[in-house]
Amino acid sequence: MFASGVKLTAASLVQVGGRFYFTANQTITQGTTTKIEFDTVEHEQGSGFDAGNNRYVAPTAGKYLIMLQTSLNGVDAGKRVIVDFLVNGTTVKNTSTTRNNKTASDLVCRMSHVLLSLAANDYVECTIWHESATAKQLLPGIDITNFSVIKLL
């Protein structure tokens, strides 16, 4: 509670945003930047998720906290995985570079986030790239690979 007596609740804090995921493995070809194909809404306040284009469209201008959790299966030992956020098709931040430092192929999980100033109708997409020798599977599910957006007050 603030000194003014205003109580904060989840409903009062999250007026715009949501959490999104996909429901089937997505093949990520080696050496190719690939847009992550989110197709399912866990929850959403306001509107903004565009399932047809696998992106979030800001319904109003403001500061948005964007979060991405990825799980790429079977990344070769010593190889990198890079995930990025894009606004209106332009990379705004090399969000995360992760290297599999084990001696064998393994699951590479990563949580990334960025604070963005978005105008109304700006859209945010997520991409992934890896340098393993063969295509890998981005694993589906709400707790495995997901994309969250929260407009901050």
d(CA 39, CA 85): 17
Taking 50 as the threshold, does the pLDDT of residue 2 lie above it?
no
Task: Please choose, from the candidates 50, 44, 47, the residue with its C-alpha nearest in 3D space to the C-alpha of residue 60.
Answer: 47
Q: Which residue has the higher pLDDT, 136 or 107?
A: 136
CA dist 51 → 24, 41, 42, 106, 141 (Å): 14, 9, 12, 30, 16
Taking 60 as the threshold, does the pLDDT of residue 57 lie above it?
yes
The reported pLDDT for the residue numbered 127 is 94
Mean pLDDT confidence for 21-34? 95
d(CA 55, CA 34): 13
The reported pLDDT for the residue numbered 108 is 83
User: Domains of the chain by range and CATH?
Assistant: 12-151 (2.60.120.40)
pLDDT tens-place string over residues 69-108: 999 998 988 888 999 999 999 998 666 778 777 777 788 8
Q: Could you tell me if 138 and 71 are in contact, meaning their C-beta atoms sit under 8 angstroms apart? A: yes
Label residue 139 by pLDDT band (50, 70, 90): very high
Please state the pTM of the whole predicted model.
0.85
The reported pLDDT for the residue numbered 67 is 92
What are the residues facing 28 on neighbouring strands?
136
- Cα 126 to its chain centre, rounded Å, is 5
Mean pLDDT confidence for 20-46? 92
Taking 70 as the threshold, does the pLDDT of residue 4 lie above it?
no
Residues whose CB is less than 8 angstroms from the CB of residue 59 and which lie 6 or more positions away in sequence, other chains included: 16, 46, 47, 48, 120
